[in-house]
Copies of this chain bind each other. A is one copy, B any other.
Amino acid sequence: MTLRVLGVDPGLTRCGYGVLDAGIGRSASLVDVGVVRSRHEDTLDIRLLEIARGLEAKLEEHAPDVVAIERVFAQNNTSTVMGTAQVSGVAVLLAAQRGIRVAIHTPSEVKAAVTGSGRADKKQIQTMLVKLLGLDAPPSPADAADALAIALTQIWRGPGPVRLDAGGKARTSAQAVWAEAERSARRARDTSSSRF
């Protein structure tokens, strides 16, 4: 059975998503990649609803086992950071509402996983994704590429995703046990349903 990961690079104007299936060894195959957009001239409620609907459509379409999301830091104090955080909250909620596991990765973790350097630029990430996923062209825009990089990071970090709360605290052993039970239940359910 294949592990399917949906990576999310949260953003209010462009929210990147990338879906990968884990292959043998460290390989992974591209399932879907793109961005969900909202219009800058719309109000926040309309924008969050647009992004949520786009992400919900992808969750329904691809039924991922894990949703991996890039962590947003407050110290990235740009004018967009609050919108980005709000979208990340929405993405986490949509996964949680469907009983899909959520994993959070920091940007430097993702860069290090994909390029070997925690300070890689977007061009480097795109170049490595072409090689690692055997693509014809770099995924574009950068938000879509970032979402794929997050999904790839999740696959490489193994079956037990690192799940952190907002304060960066790792989950407790009780939660680990619960998560393992949930995984087993999902596997049983997935096996019984007609998946390829």
Contact = CB atoms under 8 A, between A and B. Distances in A.
A44 B80 contact: no
Interface in A74-107: 74-75, 77-83, 85-90, 92-93, 95-97, 101-102, 104
Contact of A82 (B12, B43, B74, B78): B74
Contact of A166 (B12, B93, B172): B12
A81 B74 contact: yes
A41 interface: yes
A79 B164 CA distance: 13
A176 to B, nearest CB: 10
B163 A45 contact: yes
A6 interface: no
B40 A97 contact: no
B48 A96 contact: yes
A59 to B, nearest CB: 13
A165 B86 contact: no
Given A74-B77, A74-B82, A82-B73, A43 B93 contact: no
18 contacts: A41-B171, A42-B175, A43-B102, A43-B171, A45-B95, A46-B96, A48-B93, A49-B93, A49-B96, A72-B82, A72-B85, A73-B82, A74-B77, A74-B82, A82-B166, A83-B166, A85-B86, A86-B88
Interface of A: 12, 40-49, 52, 72-75, 77-83, 85-90, 92-93, 95-97, 101-102, 104, 163-169, 171-172, 175
